[in-house]
Structure 1
Amino acid sequence: MTPWEGMRLTSAQVDPYRREWEAANRRALDGEGPLLGVLGDSAAQGIGAPTPFEGWVGQLQRRLEGIDGHRWRVLNLSVSGARAHTVMDEQLPRLWRVGQPVDLVVCAVGGNDMYRSTRRQVHDRFTRLLRALPAPGTWHGDQRTIVTTLPQGLGRRRAGIANDLVRTLGPQRGLEVADLWATTGPPWRGKYAEDMFHPNALGYGHWVDAILGTIRPDRRSLGGDLPVVGTR
């Protein structure tokens, strides 16, 4: 299969995956249990995985449930094609309007900012986003916010600008950093979707390893024992 044919396959996932997450979001808001709020782009929609729930968001939900035994609800506000400024301008306002406490916020965005954007735009967008994300304790004392670096495979210079901001400005605001760049290096054969851009389900599993890796072994969090990162 050529990358062009692969792009057609993953592009065909966009609308059905969006509809499935919209239905899942409605069920989540009507349910009970800790709430995970997700901000991001097509990766958070699960594009490239066999189903929307086998992307990193669905895998993270299941692994959180395995950690603390609670049934986690997911409010996935991501949109395919989103950039850092659209997360801030469109997705964050929706999160503030939820009307329920959010226990964990995870923001993973930036792939689309690497194209048709100047370095200055990347710097300004990520600075604004990192200053706008909910600080820990926004809804209650145990609430946390995790922001990811960009994975490898994107424009190194622009990704470096974004990642440097995530690693410096994020912790200054109390945000926890999941370093996708450090966990997505080669070899990555067998971990890409057919378009050779999005991860497949196996590749998304490595994203979850990085996100859960922000939970340090010297603390308890999320209502249960901490995982040993790297075990599945």
Structure 2
Amino acid sequence: MPVPRPLPRVVAIGAAIGVAIGGIALAATAAAFGWRAFRARQAENSAILNETLPIHSKWWRDHAKQRGELLYVAIGDSAAQGIGASRPDHSYVGVLADDIRERTGRSLRVVNLSVSGATVGLAVRDQLPRFEKLKPDIVTVAIGANDIADWDASAFARGIRTVFDAVPKHAIVAELPCFYFPRNERRVAEANRILHAAAAERGLVVVPLHEATRRQGVRGILTDFANDWFHPNDRGYRVWAGVFRPAVVQRLRALRVLRPE
């Protein structure tokens, strides 16, 4: 078993969920169990999930070697890796992959380029060089939530435009998710405005992840996240997959690979 290491500065939508839990749910839990006990339990759960980082990464690398009639490539962070899910393929990438196989009856190769803790700048550095060697049929991009903690609008804009320039016109892009607290939501709103503008300039489809996660509200905070209070659980990742699904189905329709209804 890997030796636990500190979690990356912000992993996947860690800042989003951490902020949410910093509100009503966190206050209630801390009040019920005591702040020190709560923080100790949170640290313990984070350490447990931290051990899954290399496990998930290896799982995706191994599965990328499988052949398939169709190729699905994901650019992203630990949400794409599925940290917090019961198993790697229960991430939104895995859920979408299973959906594609069922809807088409075709074999599918999945190349998950995501890296836990990735910002748009790190995606440009680490994921795009690998992406340019591929010719995917389906592409999803969900990146940028890790930029919110040390927000730099200019750097985000440069990075997201570089990512969008590298992906094909049929790539499906997700908004940043809801961060709940006003200060962070202001940053997210600015990031999503930049993201929408850059996508529109390039004719890319953007799916409404922010609205979908915002609608989950307090109920979602209590039911859709893993024990570290940072990452989605299986239920939460199904919400993410549901946001992508209509655009993915539209892409499959354009490829003429959907099974007859």
Query: Considering the TM-score relative to the shorter chain, is it more than 0.5?
Result: yes
Which of residues 4, 16, 23 in structure 1 aligns to 2:62?
Answer: 23
Structure 1 residue runs without a partner (length 5+):
137-143, 228-232
1:127-180 residue CA offsets vs partner (Å, 9 max, x unmatched): 3333x23232xxxxxxx2011101112621221122112222213212111211
Report SS of the residue matched to 2:151. Answer: coil
Identity of aligned residues (%): 29
Distance 2:56 2:83 in 1: 8
Deviation at 1:77, TM superposition (A): 0.8
Deviation at 1:12, TM superposition (A): 1.3
1:176-212 residue CA offsets vs partner (Å, 9 max, x unmatched): 1121101112131210011111110110001111111
Structure 2 residue runs without a partner (length 5+):
1-37
In the alignment, residue 159 of structure 1 is paired with which amino acid? V
Partner in structure 2 of residue 139 of structure 1: none
1:103-149 residue CA offsets vs partner (Å, 9 max, x unmatched): 0111111121111233333333223333x23232xxxxxxx201110
Partner in structure 1 of residue 25 of structure 2: none
In the alignment, residue 221 of structure 1 is paired with which amino acid? A
The structure richer in helix per residue is 2
Partner in structure 1 of residue 167 of structure 2: 134
Question: Is the counterpart of residue 4 in structure 1 residue 40 in structure 2?
Answer: no
Alignment of 1:1-232 (within 5 A): 2-27=41-66, 31-98=67-134, 101-130=135-164, 132-136=165-169, 144-153=170-179, 155-185=184-214, 186=217, 187-188=219-220, 189-214=222-247, 220-222=253-255, 223-224=257-258
Deviation at 1:225, TM superposition (A): 5.8
Please identify runs of 4+ aligned residues in structure 1 that moved more than 6 A: none
Deviation at 1:21, TM superposition (A): 1.1
The alignment's TM-score, normalised by the length of structure 1, stands at 0.84
Q: CA RMSD in A?
A: 2.2
Q: Which has the larger radius of gyration?
A: 2
Report SS of the residue matched to 1:152. Answer: coil
Report SS of the residue matched to 1:213. Answer: helix
Change (3 A) 1:226 1:152: farther
The alignment's TM-score, normalised by the length of structure 2, stands at 0.75
Distance 1:87 1:3 in 2: 28
Number of corresponding residues: 213
Report SS of the residue matched to 1:214. Answer: helix
Asked if 1 retains the 8 angstrom alpha-carbon contact of 2:132 and 2:166, the reply is: no
Distance 1:9 1:113 in 2: 24
Deviation at 1:47, TM superposition (A): 0.3
Change (3 A) 1:58 1:41: same
In the alignment, residue 173 of structure 1 is paired with which amino acid? R
Report SS of the residue matched to 2:111. Answer: strand
Asked if 2 retains the 8 angstrom alpha-carbon contact of 1:109 and 1:150, the reply is: yes
In the alignment, residue 210 of structure 1 is paired with which amino acid? V
Change (3 A) 1:191 1:226: farther
